[in-house]
Structure 1
Amino acid sequence: MSLLLQIIEVDTLVASQILTDPYAFDFPHLGAVGASLFPMRYCHGFKLEEASVDAIQERLSNGSLNSVKLLECYLERIYQTQPYLNAILQFNPDAFSIAQKLDEERAHGKVRGPLHGIPFIVKDNIASKDRMETTAGCWALLGNVVPRDSHVVHGLRKAGALLLGKGALSEWADMRSNNYSEGFTGRGGQCRSAYNFTVNPGGSSTGPGVAVGANLIPIAIGTETDGSVINPAQRNAIVGIKPTVGLTSRSGVIPQSLHQDTVGTFGKTVRDAVYTLDAIYGVDTRDNYTLAQEGLTPKGGYAQFLSNKDALKGAVLGLPWESFWALGDAHQIAQLEELLTLIKSAGAIIINGTELPHYKTIVSPDSWNWDYGTTRGYTNESEYSYIKVDFYNNLRDYLAEVNNTNIKTVEDLVQYNIDNFGSEGGLPGIHPAFGSGQDGLIASMESKGIMNETYFSALEFCQRTTREEGIDAALKYMNRTLDGLLVPPDVAQSIQIAAQAGYPVVTVPAGTSDVSGMPYGLAIMNTAFSEPTLIKYASAIEDLQKSSGTKCQRTLPEWRGYLERNLPVSNYWYGNSGHAFEIGTGGYVLAEDNVFQNVKTVVGDLIYGLLFASPGATENNVCSTYLGRDGEVNGFSSWGFLAGRHWLLL
């Protein structure tokens, strides 16, 4: 046989394995921009991108699609984007066999509900009794065996939903470090937002938020102690529902604080997120907090409260301007005001100045800070004073039920991270994603779980000033009770107040920054177990957005900086006021149009992070070579200086 014939024969044998047209579904075309960078393939003739649960269910019902094919299509999307987004921490090896059984049920006339055959993921601190790990993203818990499904996973399985895998998160749900890279875990690496790879993707439920926002999955669940559902939802242009503490069980969830932990839902629409909520809420004897919902939840679930824009006629909504809105980025607030005008045009009454009575005391004017009481000099008024104690005790109780692990206490965890500091950053200044090491875990360890006078005083103060003397008080205006408070969730302090209260919040996509490309939301909050009201008005606002064609709604990701791999990710600060900050070792930050307080920089010392900022009008061309324009000037509200220049940008 001649050499030419041998080559032809070999080519024929491998031809089916050769990718002849790599663009654009399999490899993003270098130089392309916007949503076309990672186009989503049709799923057996069906446009799966942006498809709602109802639209998917229609295809499943008419037989043009089944759960196995649907799973294949979502996995194809994940394989396409996983090397870039890193949103999925682990895949369920039994997913296809589960899909086959759900298809068999459907073929025999059994459809469990709107989620039958619909894939979902859960944050990797939510236990599933299967062949997947539950580790909070850390190496320390690898190989542990949980005793049972978490209550929420059981509910979704029972509803017919298909568990595809575990989503990425911020390690230990942001409990381990106070200076860290949001969305990073030792076990999984850095999860990034499809909207902008170089900035904070939102967390700590990062993977679920990113996955739903980038059309990797239709629905997901995450957990929130303080912002960890609402933040990733609004930063990935999706709907997030953070329920009242006690509406969804925490049994089988790696805890932080039973006073504030709750399991929430993600979807691209309010309806999809509500379908997911309907599957997971309810009383659970393994979580006593859920007993509080008896008599306060609706028969027939929450989907019955979904509405359209007509529901806004006569609605009375409060705007706590000085409490929260005044702290927001001016460009973002201006766009949100356009949406508020649209809501008013639909017949809603929006009352400005419905403030929380103690906002000057309990709301940090700088940024989110769960130790703000201590910052003010009062540890007995700080959320962190009880969170760190709760974590010590609640984690010990959780680990007592887990088998096949040597990690049983916070002390064990701290020591593991020190022993493995290279991968787990157990010491400060070692790992760029954990700039402060594990100071959060150490603070919890040092508390020894002792519930002393400071603990109880802080808990009482935070709950009182955010509940009856907080949100509840703001809801009572003149002689009427408002239907809800509208807040900008990108002002994280607003979500922090609801977290301390244990009250529900729903956020809907409300626009995208022209500067960073990152989305932001509009949130509505109310008192305990007011989910029917929040769902009614959130879905009404969503319907108004879609029917009006306003730009103040969900947009597709533009995949900005998809080749960048900066660590930590929080490296662009724009339009902030009064921020005190720290840049982690080896970090690089570009700052524009900020007003800083109490800040000094030493640029050029690689032991510390580098700040690229224009300190005045005469030097606002510092980064022009790299930005293609002059940087916007930063200022100071008290003292400070920005020293030096450096050639290395981001």
Structure 2
Amino acid sequence: METAPNTRMPPCKGVNIEEASIGQLQQWLQDGKFTALDLAECYLERTRRLNGILKAVLELNPDALDIARARDDERSRGFVRGPLHGIPFLVKDNIATKDKMQTTAGSMSSKVPEDAQVVKLLRSAGAVLLGHANMSEWASMRATYYAVGYSSRGGQNRNPYNLAEHPGDSSSGPATAVASNMCAFSLGTETDSSVILPADRNAVVGIKPTVGIISCEGVVPESHNFDTVGAFGRTVEDATVVLDAISESPRNLSAHISGKDALKGARFGIPWKRVWERASFDQSTKVQYQTLQTLIMRLQDSGAEVIRVEIPSAEAIVPIDNGWDWDYPSKIGHPEQSEFTVVKVDFYNDVKNYLASLIVNPNNIQSLEDIIQYNIIHTEREGGVSGTHPAWPTGQDSFDKSQSSMGIEDETYRSALDFIRRKTRDEGIDAALRYDGELLDGLLVPVQADDGVAMQIAAQAGYPMITIPVDVGDDGVPFGLTIIQTALGEKKLVRYGAAIEEVAGKRPRPAFRNIHANNWMYTGVRPNELGA
């Protein structure tokens, strides 16, 4: 008879570190309750107990304990680098680390010439790199219908709340690891939804910053127009400390963290048409909608004003009968309005430049054409041909579309980029934030109850978002409330995110429901030929 894995968090030198914040861990390190080496070993033991079922971690860092010892040595000499000194973390497998590990985007082996800039900054801040987290292979770029959180190197990542339900989008591994206490924080990446959705479905705080303020140097690219690195933490403060550490220039966002008193006099908009409207009539997310509406009333009781507003372009950019779909306009004859029109061209060019930078490339992969051919040759493992691997029923059809573009930035490409920016920025979020002659303090949106449409609008705009855990739905999967701001609006995001976090209460802990689940969990648009 199969036995359940031990899901109990092991104490660290007698201290219960489960759900501990970065600040709490730092205080215990300072007080000598345990060392950075002890802490790293405790998180690694947690990983050994759970990773067999969750597959959140793709590769462990063989140097992790040596790094922790070095941080302990510094501390013993009175040198503490900052709030992340000795704190263990994971990075998504598309974020380069120059060490004994590989950086592969979940796919083929390779060695990078140097750390990604964000990793350099975290090492400089004293954080301890435990390893690489699993992800949807190639950051969900390879197919239109695929198993969420699956990579050929890491296997099927699962949601620790309900292992039979999918863990989010391509940064699911980093989110799952934080949710299940395998590390103190982690880094993910987002092109469209890949930080916010996994955070929402794993009851962790996810911050996706304004595109451009965090370096993507050394990150396996998808689209330079939309890509960014984001942070996962169990609290708003934790994620904010991490965002401060990886910012190129000092921003001191942590100084803006505030309690629920900050809600007094705050004014938020709830965009109704195609966003909350969708959530209100979808019976499958009724619990989410009602719970979030109750939370909004509690925010009002705490002094906030919440106003129904509209995103003027909503009817033009959000299909009435579809949720998140980055190529929907092409399907109705308007590729000049499609996000994927831009992404497929960018990916073709950006990935070629990235591959040229590798110092070890055993398969001599130099281009998207080479990736496609590699997947075809190894189709039993990589599903390069449709129907040959259950994780990718449609094979690599998104890669094929990108290859067909040849990376040409033609008039359709330029028109799509202009359309997206105009409709999501000036005629979208910025317009919704302007109310009665003043700027609102943010837009409050669901993530899952509206099928991800508000999240997609913000991602296309390149604007910042934060999601705060709220509760667990009747399917056993967590959900939260998200704030959207305009460009460079991170100070308000963390200020009001922390205030909402205090009203919402502590995040729910993983229940490990359906712990022996072995199903495939698909996302995307199911092709007609695959059946209903």
- Shorter-chain TM-score bucket reads over 0.9
Give the whole-Å Cα distance in 1 for the aligned partners of 2:287 and 2:329.
30
Are 1:256 and 1:387, in contact at CA under 8 Å, matched by a contact in 2? yes
For residue 479 of structure 1, report the CA deviation from its aligned partner: 1.6
- Larger mean CA deviation between 218-227 and 473-482 belongs to 473-482
TM-superposition CA deviations, 1:158-192 (whole Å, max 9, x none): 00000000000000000001110000011111000
Are 2:144 and 2:525, in contact at CA under 8 Å, matched by a contact in 1? no
Are 1:312 and 1:537, in contact at CA under 8 Å, matched by a contact in 2? yes
Are 1:239 and 1:507, in contact at CA under 8 Å, matched by a contact in 2? yes
Other-structure match for 1:538:
497
Give the whole-Å Cα distance in 1 for the aligned partners of 2:121 and 2:189.
15
Are 1:425 and 1:431, in contact at CA under 8 Å, matched by a contact in 2? yes
Structure 1 segments unaligned to the other structure (5+ residues): 1-22, 30-36, 284-298, 547-552, 572-579, 584-599, 601-606, 612-650
Residue aligned with 2:211, SS = coil
Other-structure match for 1:387:
343
| Pick aligned residue for 2:315 from 346, 360, 374 | 360
Other-structure match for 1:574:
none
Is 1:506 aligned with 2:466?
A: yes
Runs of 4+, deviation exceeding 6 Å: none
For residue 199 of structure 1, report the CA deviation from its aligned partner: 1.5
Give the whole-Å Cα distance in 2 for the aligned partners of 1:243 and 1:137.
24
Give the whole-Å Cα distance in 2 for the aligned partners of 1:63 and 1:451.
57
| Pick aligned residue for 1:582 from 517, 526, 529 | 526
Are 1:357 and 1:470, in contact at CA under 8 Å, matched by a contact in 2? yes
Are 1:362 and 1:372, in contact at CA under 8 Å, matched by a contact in 2? no
1:439 aligned partner, one-letter code: D
Are 1:199 and 1:570, in contact at CA under 8 Å, matched by a contact in 2? no
Give the whole-Å Cα distance in 2 for the aligned partners of 1:477 and 1:410.
46
2:509 aligned partner, one-letter code: L
| Pick aligned residue for 2:210 from 224, 231, 244 | 244
Other-structure match for 1:555:
508
1:554 aligned partner, one-letter code: R
Is 1:91 aligned with 2:67?
A: no
Q: Flag the 1:581–1:386 CA change in 2: closer, same or farther, 3 A.
A: closer
Other-structure match for 1:495:
455
Give the whole-Å Cα distance in 2 for the aligned partners of 1:409 and 1:581.
27
Are 1:116 and 1:160, in contact at CA under 8 Å, matched by a contact in 2? yes
Give the whole-Å Cα distance in 2 for the aligned partners of 1:59 and 1:404.
41
TM-superposition CA deviations, 1:257-288 (whole Å, max 9, x none): 000000000000000001110110115xxxxx
Other-structure match for 2:179:
213
For residue 557 of structure 1, report the CA deviation from its aligned partner: 1.0
Are 2:4 and 2:515, in contact at CA under 8 Å, matched by a contact in 1? no
2:253 aligned partner, one-letter code: Y
TM-superposition CA deviations, 1:111-131 (whole Å, max 9, x none): 111100000000000001111
| Pick aligned residue for 1:529 from 471, 488, 494 | 488
Correspondence list, 1:618-633, <5 A: none
Q: Tell me the percent identity.
A: 47
For residue 608 of structure 1, report the CA deviation from its aligned partner: 4.4
Structure 2 segments unaligned to the other structure (5+ residues): 280-284
For residue 40 of structure 1, report the CA deviation from its aligned partner: 1.1
TM-superposition CA deviations, 1:221-240 (whole Å, max 9, x none): 00000000001000000000
Are 1:364 and 1:493, in contact at CA under 8 Å, matched by a contact in 2? no
For residue 345 of structure 1, report the CA deviation from its aligned partner: 0.5
Correspondence list, 1:29-108, <5 A: 38-108=7-77
Aligned-pair Cα RMSD in Å:
1.6
User: Which structure dedicates a bigger proportion of its chain to helix?
Assistant: 2
Give the whole-Å Cα distance in 1 for the aligned partners of 2:357 and 2:517.
41
Residue aligned with 1:166, SS = strand
For residue 581 of structure 1, report the CA deviation from its aligned partner: 5.0
For residue 403 of structure 1, report the CA deviation from its aligned partner: 2.1
Are 1:319 and 1:487, in contact at CA under 8 Å, matched by a contact in 2? yes
Q: Which protein has the larger Cα radius of gyration, Structure 1 or Structure 2?
A: 1
Other-structure match for 2:432:
474
Are 1:270 and 1:539, in contact at CA under 8 Å, matched by a contact in 2? yes
Is 1:118 aligned with 2:87?
A: yes
Are 1:198 and 1:570, in contact at CA under 8 Å, matched by a contact in 2? no
Give the whole-Å Cα distance in 2 for the aligned partners of 1:321 and 1:562.
38
Is 1:452 aligned with 2:444?
A: no
Residue aligned with 1:521, SS = strand
2:68 aligned partner, one-letter code: A
Q: Flag the 1:380–1:257 CA change in 2: closer, same or farther, 3 A.
A: same
Residue aligned with 2:84, SS = coil
Other-structure match for 2:371:
413
Residue aligned with 2:16, SS = coil
Give the whole-Å Cα distance in 1 for the aligned partners of 2:267 and 2:512.
38
Other-structure match for 1:145:
111
Give the whole-Å Cα distance in 1 for the aligned partners of 2:513 and 2:422.
43
1:582 aligned partner, one-letter code: R
Is 1:196 aligned with 2:196?
A: no
For residue 330 of structure 1, report the CA deviation from its aligned partner: 2.4
Give the whole-Å Cα distance in 2 for the aligned partners of 1:389 and 1:199.
32
Give the whole-Å Cα distance in 2 for the aligned partners of 1:269 and 1:527.
22
Residue aligned with 1:322, SS = helix
1:46 aligned partner, one-letter code: V
Q: What is the aligned residue count? A: 522
For residue 331 of structure 1, report the CA deviation from its aligned partner: 2.3
Are 1:127 and 1:146, in contact at CA under 8 Å, matched by a contact in 2? yes
Give the whole-Å Cα distance in 1 for the aligned partners of 2:118 and 2:171.
15
| Pick aligned residue for 2:307 from 329, 344, 351 | 351
| Pick aligned residue for 1:306 from 249, 254, 257 | 257
Other-structure match for 2:282:
none
Is 1:167 aligned with 2:167?
A: no
Q: Choose between structure 1 and 2 for higher RCO, CA contacts under 8 A separated by at least 6 residues.
A: 2
